[in-house]
Structure 1
């Protein structure tokens, strides 16, 4: 159980440090002086990428929870 919690926390922390820009976006946005648009684009990409993972995780957790709730009774 401790390893599952540790793995989950590690994945969450490592997910926060990702850079999700494609090569074309990065090349165009690196030429900008303030890098504010590059950070905004990167945050938007990470946000859009995280939504499907959250949905799939929630669905999997719900199915897992329902299965073991019925099995224990």
Structure 2
């Protein structure tokens, strides 16, 4: 249990330290932003950043929720098998 907590904390620290890299954009998005900024429109960049972060976060959040419930079920089965 303590070992898992260490891995969880290490993962969260790594995620926090790489937040700036996560906010980076792909080449096509960057080209779109540069084109719009040169034409005077500066609002597109913020919208694309939010969209990229949303697309990045959704699968990981879903997998984390599934993993949490899987862990709880496995823990409950283990507790039940120890009582029998």
Which stretches in structure 2 are left out of the alignment for 5+ residues?
Answer: none
Name 1:37's counterpart in structure 2: 44
User: How many positions carry a matched residue from both structures?
Assistant: 73
Q: Give the number of the structure whose residues are more often helix, by fraction.
A: 2
CA RMSD of aligned residues (A): 2.2
In our comparison, the structure showing a higher alpha carbon Rg is 2
Post-superposition, which runs of at least 4 consecutive aligned residues in structure 1 deviate over 6 A? Answer: none
Which stretches in structure 1 are left out of the alignment for 5+ residues?
Answer: none
Name 2:71's counterpart in structure 1: 64
TM-score, scaled relative to structure 1: 0.74
Deviation at 1:60, TM superposition (A): 1.3
